[in-house]
Amino acid sequence: MSQPVTVECPTCGAPVEWSPQSPSRPFCSERCKLIDLGAWAAEEHAIPGDNMEDDLFSGELPPREH
């Protein structure tokens, strides 16, 4: 029988077994999952993009009225 795959929790680094018994995977717990979600919402995490590409599409939308 093969050894279960183990990964590190992205938030705290704890080992997590990658299996149905770990419903929050790749996180070790719901708490670590929510901490990571909060970091994305606070823009502490970001996916790198191309500024030039962002500029190309920014003119497609009309200015918002407040």
Task: Flag whether 3 is marked binding.
Answer: no
30 annotated as belonging to a binding site for a ligand: no
Please check whether residue 10 is in contact with residue 16, taking contact to mean a CB–CB distance below 8 angstroms. no
Nearest Cα neighbor of 27 from 14, 41, 40, 44 is 14
Q: Please check if 28 is assigned to a binding site.
A: yes
Q: Is 10 annotated as a binding residue?
A: no
Contact 17, 9 (CB under 8 A): no
Binding residues: 9, 12, 28, 32
Binding-site residues for Zn(2+) sit at: 9, 12, 28, 32
